[in-house]
A and B are shown apart, each in its own frame.
Chain A
Amino acid sequence: MKYSEILEANRKLGNSLTESAYPISVLSNVVVSPLKEVLEYNLRSEGINARVTLGSYDNILQDSAGLPDSNALIVFWELAAIVDGAHYRVNLMNQDELLALESRVRRELDLFFANASKARLVIFNRFSALVFTHHEIRPSKLTLLADNLNRHLADTVPSNTILVDLNRLLAQVSIGRAVDFRFFYSSKLLYSLDFFKAYAGFVTPCICSAQGKAKKVLIFDCDNTLWKGVLGEDGPNGLEMSPATPDGSIFREVQAIALDLARQGVVLGLCTRNNLGDIEELLQSHPDMAVRPSDLATIRANWDDKASNLRALSEELNLALESFVFVDDSPFELDYVRRCLPEVTCVQVPELLHEYPALVRGLSALFFNLSLSSEDSRRAEQYRQERLRQGDRARFSNLTEYLRSLGIKLHVEIDNEALIPRVAQLSQKTNQFNLTTRRYTEPEIEALVRGQNSTVFALHAADRYGEYGVTGLAIVTYQEPAVARIDLFLLSCRIIGRSIEYGFFDALIEPLLRRGILELKASYSQTPRNGPVSGFWEGLGFELTEEHGDTKSYRLELQRYNPRKLDYLEVSFG
């Protein structure tokens, strides 16, 4: 299905589904926005009323601390973005730098999984360097880093987590088609639409399974489905299902895959227009059969229609038809079943027979369930208990501790003309942490910088891993004596989630007091994107004075303001 059709169909499904919402938060350090609609559509088509929200960009840890446990999480923690430009910087690092980076990411991972330990489901991508390293003859530092981090993941993930092997998806889509460097450099969007479709296709069965919607029953027709030929016409000796012939090899392989699924707990059955006695005889004694009576939960061999048979099977096995997958070679039979029993997943033997084994192998994802090996689940359980002991308070102090470890430095510049282009650009591009979302042109900013009745505060942010550049902006205007108004207050999404906004706001106070300002006015104008900051002014102690449409107005007596003085933010002025 084309993307634009998905967008439209998803909107309709979203309006028509009545099931309670299944919230999914996608947390990422790259932009993955096209995944939202594709995944919602996939899940809604399966009757799961998914509501996907995208976390703020590059705020995985901070976001994970604040989400309700009822949310499922999908995490894109891209190796290329663990620090800005990791995909080329890591290979230039010396041993100490590498170790420091690896241990930092390990700590971040531990903190993330502690935060997410009670989430209903976590889908976490393994680290992959493949996009940047597939040409390598000897493994580079980047490859080794990915391997080390993946080992750490394997050792620590809790039982609510599924690890997704990105390398397999990249192989499935092909690297060239899976990445789109065009938007990587401009918007941090690394993956292509093709990739997101494949990704959504991969995780949909995981989520269905976690929601109890995994398939449980696999029913095969027989003639030209389990073997080549028609038993009633060709006789047992005329059937092909052994490696002696090319087509026989294919049916042999399909039987072996079905057998493997049965041994993993899938309920395997037959439903065929044949005499029961003939089928039983064949299953017992035909030398080429891989599937034997003991592998089958049920056999329906009669001359009734298949829909009635499947309905009877559902009663016999006491399993809902939603959990049935039915494989047949006849389009006519399948069409009839589809129309009578739309809840059954129908699979047709492909016309190009060589595609058949891969198709059946692919079905195994539908039967996916979350059970792990006993050793895995024991380790996961220990991990979970450990986290429970540490409790919620530990979670909070850990985040502060983490922020402290970043060594965040803020530098505030007042009316700096050199920054005019960057400041105008920030005002035009920032959507999320933006209280008023007023857009300014360069000439407008220039007038505000030079004018006597306004001050433009530009914020530089940096931490021990690098510079974020000019990423915060406040514009204050003075219209009446002793009163100032904050016309604009914004933070780039690159630095949100670190409480930098409080440090930045505190930094405005001193210059304003010096100017003789006693009262500060501010406002919040709601847009589709800035909901998360709707309570920002209240949080600082502002008092609501007026509410008009989407805009709320506030005031604050400066003398009564209580600065937060966050000790992990180091603030300077220029």
Chain B
Amino acid sequence: MDSRIRTVIGRVFDIDKARIDDNLSLEELWNWDSLQQINLVIALEEEFTLRFSAEEASEMTTYQAIREAVFRRAGHSQ
């Protein structure tokens, strides 16, 4: 699952998967903005067939937060 999360982030922000680690903060990327954030959220939702709340969606701006949210939602939906 970690690898798939990294693949999606890498595709959305056009960055090398290997660069994505626990310290990644999306807001520091040159191409991050609120629309890209929506792109990321809907791409993750499609990838893992789950739904985030609006609040979660706006908070998922670090790799750690994204990972936690995906695992939390995937757990709920199983």
Set of chain B residues within 8 Å of A34, measured between Cβ atoms? 38-39, 42
Binary CB contact string for chain B from 1 to 43 against chain A (1 if under 8 A, 0 otherwise): 0000001100110100000000000000011011100110011
A187–B38 touching, CB < 8 Å: yes
Q: What mask results when residues 6 to 19 of chain A are scored 1 for a CB within 8 Å of chain B, else 0?
A: 01100100000000
User: Are B43 and A7 interface neighbours, CB within 8 A?
Assistant: yes
Q: Which residue of B lies closest to A194 (CB)?
A: B46
Binding site secondary structure of chain B: helix
**Measured CA separation A183–B56 after assembly (Å):** 12
B18 CB to nearest chain A CB (Å): 16
- A429 in contact with B34 (CB, 8 Å): yes
In the complex with contacts A182-B53, A187-B38, A193-B42, A528-B11 CB distance below 8 A: no
- Complexed CA–CA distance, A33 and B35 (Å): 7
Chain B's nearest CB lies how many Å from the CB of A315?
A: 43
Q: Which residues of B contact A429 (CB under 8 A)?
A: 34
Q: How many A-B residue pairs have CB under 8 A?
A: 54
The interface residues of chain A lying within 8 Å CB-to-CB of B12 are 4, 7
Whole-angstrom CA separation of A528 from B35 in the bound complex: 12
Judged by a CB distance under 8 angstroms, whether B59 is at the interface is no
* B64 CB-CB contact with A under 8 Å: no
Query: Within the assembled complex, what's the spacing in Å between the Cα atoms of A193 and B58?
Result: 18
Which A residues touch B53, using CB under 8 A? 182
**B47 adjacent to chain A (CB < 8 Å):** yes
Q: Which residues of B contact A192 (CB under 8 A)?
A: 42
Q: How long is the Cα–Cα vector from A8 to B11 in the complex, in angstroms?
A: 5
Residues of A within 8 A of B47 (CB): 2, 4
On whether the beta carbons of A4 and B7 are closer than 8 Å, the reply is yes
Q: Is A185 an interface residue (CB 8 A)?
A: yes
Contact in complex: A7, B39 (CB < 8 Å) = yes
Instruction: Determine whether the beta carbon of A4 is less than 8 Å from that of B54.
Output: no
B-side interface size class = 20 to 34
Query: Which residue from B7, B33, B42, B45 sits with its C-beta under 8 Å from A528?
Result: B33
Determine whether A431 belongs to the interface, using a CB cutoff of 8 Å to chain B. yes
Residues of A with C-beta under 8 A to B11: 4-5, 7-8
Which of chain B's residues have a CB closer than 8 A to the CB of A431?
33-34
A189 in the interface (beta carbon within 8 A): yes
Q: CB of A240 within 8 A of chain B?
A: no
- A186 near B35 with CB under 8 A, answer no
Q: Taking the complex as formed, is A529 at the interface, i.e. its CB lies under 8 A from any CB of chain B?
A: yes
Residues of A within 8 A of B14 (CB): 8, 11
Please tell me if A468 contacts chain B, counting CB pairs below 8 Å.
Answer: no
Q: Which partner residue on chain A sits nearest B41 by CB separation?
A: A183
- Is A465 engaged at the interface, CB distance under 8 Å to the other chain? no
* Interface assignment of B57: CB less than 8 Å from any CB of chain A: yes
Would A186 and B33 count as touching, CB distance under 8 A? no
Interface residue A3 (Cβ < 8 Å from any Cβ of B): yes
Please give the distance in Å from B21's CB to the nearest CB on chain A: 19
Contact, CB under 8 Å: A187 / B7: no
| Chain B neighbourhood of A11, CB < 8 A | 14
Whether B42 contacts A182 by the Cβ 8 Å rule is: no
Q: In the complex the two chains form, what is the Cα distance from A307 to B9 in whole Å?
A: 42
- Smallest Cβ-Cβ distance to B9: which chain A residue: A4
Q: How far is the CA of A431 from the CA of B32 in the complex (A)?
A: 11
Asked if A58 lies at the interface with its beta carbon under 8 angstroms from chain B, I say no
Residue of B nearest to A431 (CB): B33
Cβ contacts under 8 Å, A446 to chain B: none
Q: A-B pairs with the 6 shortest C-beta distances?
A: A4-B11, A4-B43, A8-B11, A33-B35, A3-B43, A4-B8
Pairs across A and B, CB under 8 Å, 6 listed: A4-B8, A182-B51, A186-B58, A189-B38, A193-B46, A528-B30
Beyond A3-B43, A7-B12, A189-B38, 14 extra complex contacts between A and B, CB < 8 Å: A2-B46, A3-B39, A3-B46, A4-B8, A4-B43, A7-B39, A8-B11, A11-B14, A33-B35, A34-B39, A34-B42, A182-B51, A192-B42, A529-B33
